[in-house]
Amino acid sequence: MGCAAETPARRIIVAGAGYAGTTCGIRLARGVRPEDSLDILIVEPNPCQQALSELDLVAVGPNRPEFCELWHPTLYRGLPVTVCYNRVADVLPDSNEIVVEGGERVGYWRLVLATGAVASTPPIPGLVEHASTMWSVEDARRLQRRSQAVLTAAARMADRTERRRTMSYTVVGGGATGVEIVGTLAQMLPKRVRDAGLDPSDLNVHLVEGRDDILFDLPERERARAVRRLERMGVEVITGAFVSRVEDGVVVLADGRRVDSTVLVWAGGAKADPHASEWGLETSANGRVVVDESLRCVSHPNVYAIGDVAEARNPATGAPLMMLAQMAIQEGPAAADNILREARGEAVRPFKPHFRGEFVSVGPTWGVGWMYGVPLTGIPAITMKRITYVKYWLQVGGLRLAAKRTREMLALAR
């Protein structure tokens, strides 16, 4: 069966259904009018939106047969949207077509690229062979299975030194993702260890960051509070140390130190969808699609790019916007509104980002961050972080979805 049937309507293709693509698709579907003569097609290989905001809880929490932040069939039910569960293999901007896996060509009037980003793994010897990334639900499940295997092996060991070496976890990368993962490990692993009949004091949890501090996007005071919180939870925070190589069960730092790491998670950054630079669109040096102030590609104005794959700029500073969910959630509706304006013969409007704050969890029940210039720490910070999730669920799915997902989030954090 083909990805899209022939239609006399002007087709809008949204490629990708993460935070940017989903908010764009929902805004288009709710805003379109019959007289617009528009056909909305979402192209996305996965019927489930990846729960990037909660992967740490999935990875360390109780075993679950399935976890999904948003199911697309439920989300788009009753809306004038067609979803094609396939992957974009190529973009042909000069002929206004995409090619999906299998070779089918699908034409468009407007294309929205929202294909996101992937984990960035540098060519460190042994890294790919021994480390897990944390970029999908499957990554989280893999870490969960690996952790369970470690505890099972440790339970068979009589020698405490060997047991402590086996129960060693290292997260490399002191940005928000790395801190959230290591914080959740430090808070939730002790219970799993006790459930296995083991002593939580045998756990060794490390955070390694090459720069001289963690969470560089936060104010210095909040960074210091995060470090103190991690250390109180038993995490060894190692800063100013780059990874030289990875061996079986050991991370070797550039200064020669060796860190026991039976379980290793790489959280050293992300890069735009690497295929974007192959699609004939103008891209920046880091591979992001260059867009103008209205989020249209500078080389092909029939194509919009939003989210992590796009290099949009802050109009106030001229600096590229960071790869953040809150930017993606703002860009999606802005692109949708501009497309609807074009369909009605109206002028597009510039995208005006609003950076209202940032919150990072340090374990499921504690956080640091700021909002409107006001620093928040502890329960207020983690509460605000969870509220941002609820606002997103309300935005795309309404009250029923928000209530359902809030219950699931609270269950994961236990």
Q: How many CB atoms lie within 10 A of CB 232?
A: 10
Distances (CA, A) of 134 to 196, 265, 291: 25, 7, 28
Q: How many residues would you count in the chain?
A: 414
- Contacts from 349-355 at CB under 8 Å and sequence distance 24+? 349/294, 350/293, 350/294, 350/315, 351/293, 351/294, 351/295, 351/312, 352/315, 353/312, 353/314, 353/315, 353/321, 353/327, 354/330, 355/326, 355/327
- Tell me what pLDDT residue 260 has: 96
pLDDT tens over the chain, length 414 residues: 578 777 777 999 999 999 999 999 999 999 999 999 999 999 999 898 876 777 888 788 766 545 667 888 889 999 999 999 999 999 999 999 999 999 999 999 999 999 999 999 999 999 999 999 988 888 888 898 999 999 999 999 999 999 999 999 999 999 999 999 999 999 999 999 999 999 999 999 999 999 999 999 899 999 999 999 999 999 999 999 999 999 999 999 999 999 999 999 999 889 999 999 999 999 999 999 999 999 999 999 999 999 999 999 999 999 999 999 999 999 999 999 999 999 999 999 999 999 889 999 999 999 999 999 899 999 999 999 989 988 988 999 888 888 888 887 777 655
Per DSSP, what are the bridge partners of residue 88? 100
Contact 147, 263 (CB under 8 A): yes
Contact 59, 181 (CB under 8 A): yes
- Dihedral angle at the C-alpha atoms of 82, 86, 92, 96, nearest 10 degrees? -10
CA distance 396 to 398: 6
Tokens of 188: 């939730």
| Domain 127-268 superfamily per CATH | FAD/NAD(P)-binding domain (3.50.50.60)
Q: Which are the contacts of 380, defined by CB distance < 8 A and separation ≥ 6?
A: none
Nearest to 193 by CA among 204, 177, 182: 204
The secondary structure of the chain, three-state, reads CCCCCCCCCEEEEEECCCHHHHHHHHHHHHHCCHHHCEEEEEECCCCEECCHHHHHHHHHCCCCCCCCCEEHHHHCCCCCCEEECCCEEEEECCCCEEEECCCCEEECCEEEECCCEEECCCCCCCHHHHCECCCCHHHHHHHHHHHHHHHHHHHCCCCHHHHHHHCEEEEECCCHHHHHHHHHHHHHHHHHHHHCCCCHHHCEEEEEECCCCCCCCCCHHHHHHHHHHHHHCCEEEEECCCEEEEECCEEEECCCCEEECCEEEECCCEEECHHHHHCCCCECCCCCEEECCCCEECCCCCEEECHHHEECECCCCCCECCCCHHHHHHHHHHHHHHHHHHHCCCCCCCCCCCCCEEEEECCCCCEEEEECCEEEEEHHHHHHHHHHHHHHHHHHHHHHHHHHHHHHHHHHCC
| CATH class of this structure's domain 10-118+271-355 | alpha beta
Distances (CA, A) of 90 to 208, 274, 280, 404: 38, 12, 9, 37
- Tell me what pLDDT residue 68 has: 67
Q: Where are the domains of the chain?
A: 10-118+271-355, 127-268, 356-414
Contact 208, 178 (CB under 8 A): no
Domains 10-118+271-355 and 127-268 share a fold: yes
